[in-house]
């Protein structure tokens, strides 16, 4: 696996691949990699001749300085996982390499950034759009792969790519889960084994919510879910929304022609977790 810290060196390496007509698949990450990331690499490997992964903990998407400070950094283990899964290139840039000058871009994200996560993490998605666009400019991939666990982020990246007219195909990949049902996340490394076991209740509640859609209105499903979570003293509830999968607007009634998604955010101790389920 080739490792580059400078964009110019990465560009030189990828130029020869492009000149040979090879397609480039890209998996942008913030490190602390797990089997969910492995699945993205494997899909990219299956669909492209060259696979690039990036590891960059992006400061512009953290509205909480403590969250940025505590974000897990495991570069040696990450390199090992990428090599094991056949990743061809790792781009491991510094902050100055990504932001040689202060980036003050404010994106129009069509209001998708004001809902759910946007209410609780102001500026977060503008920071995400900022770094993803910058990485796309550097890597120039044909295809880019993102996990569906971050459902709102995926919708926003798709919107940004379309509005900015970027020549990248965005591919969403299914959420991988522990045997308990807990969605795989880099933040899970900050949970104790006991907390991981307790966090499995999130997915169980989502499964129950999906079952309830057969007999209850969206409003009733929301109420039952929230009551279930709030009864668990381990959790600090933040939100549960049932939204249209594209516009991310609240679903008032079930419509077989429009896919609805239930999205949740909550805290266990000082660790914030998100998850979702397609109804």
pLDDT, position 129: 98
**What's the pLDDT score for residue 63?**
84
Please name which of 232, 250, 253 lies closest in space to residue 240, comparing C-alpha atoms. 250
Tell me whether strands 271-278 and 169-173 are parallel, antiparallel or unpaired.
Answer: unpaired
Asked about 46 being catalytic, the answer comes back as: no
Taking 70 as the pLDDT cut, the residues of the chain under it are none
Domain assignments of the chain as residue spans, ordered by start: 2-173, 186-278
Spatial CB neighbours of 191, under 8 Å, sequence gap ≥ 6: 199, 268, 271
Whether the CB-CB separation of 235 and 205 falls below 8 Å is answered with: no
Q: What are phi and psi of 230, to 5 degrees?
A: -65, -25
CATH superfamily of 2-173: HUPs (3.40.50.620)
Q: Which of 34, 37, 46, 124 is catalytic?
A: 37
Q: Could you report the per-residue pLDDT of 98-111, keeping only the tens digit for each?
A: 999 988 999 999 99
Tell me if 92 sits within 8 A of 10, measured CB to CB. Answer: no
The pLDDT value recorded for residue 84 is: 97
What pLDDT is stored for residue 67 in this prediction?
Answer: 86
- Whole-structure pTM value: 0.94
Q: Report the pLDDT value the prediction gives residue 85, as an integer from 0 to 100.
A: 97
Same fold, 2-173 and 186-278: no
| pLDDT (0 to 100) of residue 256 | 85
What's the rounded Cα separation, in Å, for the pair 129 and 131?
A: 6
From the list 235, 237, 257, 261, the residue with the least C-alpha distance to 248 is: 261
Topology of the domain covering 186-278 = 3.30.1300
Q: Are 249 and 243 in contact (CB under 8 A)?
A: yes
């Amino acid at each position: 696996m080739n490792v580059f810290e400078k964009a110019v060196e990465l560009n030189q390496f990828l130029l020869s691949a492009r000149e040979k007509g090879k397609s480039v698949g890209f998996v942008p990450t913030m490190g602390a990699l797990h089997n969910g990331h492995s699945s993205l690499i494997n899909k990219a490997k299956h669909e492209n001749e060259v696979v690039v992964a990036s590891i960059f903990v992006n400061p512009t998407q953290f509205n909480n300085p403590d969250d940025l400070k505590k974000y897990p950094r495991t570069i040696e283990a990450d390199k090992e996982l990428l090599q094991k899964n056949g990743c061809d290139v790792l781009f491991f840039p510094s902050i100055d390499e990504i932001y040689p000058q202060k980036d003050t871009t404010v994106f129009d994200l069509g209001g998708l950034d004001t809902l759910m996560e946007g209410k609780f993490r102001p500026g977060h998605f503008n920071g995400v759009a900022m770094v993803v666009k910058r990485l796309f400019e550097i890597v120039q991939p044909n295809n880019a792969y993102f996990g569906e666990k971050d459902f709102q982020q995926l919708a926003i990246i798709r919107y940004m790519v379309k509005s900015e007219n970027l020549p990248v195909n965005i591919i969403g990949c299914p959420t991988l889960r522990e045997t308990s049902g807990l969605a795989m996340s880099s933040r899970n490394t900050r949970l104790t084994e006991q907390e991981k076991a307790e966090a499995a209740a999130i997915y169980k509640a989502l499964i129950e919510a999906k079952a309830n859609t057969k007999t209850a209105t969206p409003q009733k499903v929301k109420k039952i879910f929230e009551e279930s979570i709030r009864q668990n003293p381990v959790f600090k509830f933040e939100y549960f929304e049932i939204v249209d999968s594209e516009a991310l607007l609240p679903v008032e009634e079930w419509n077989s022609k429009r896919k609805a998604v239930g999205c949740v955010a909550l805290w266990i101790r000082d660790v914030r977790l998100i998850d979702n389920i397609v109804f």
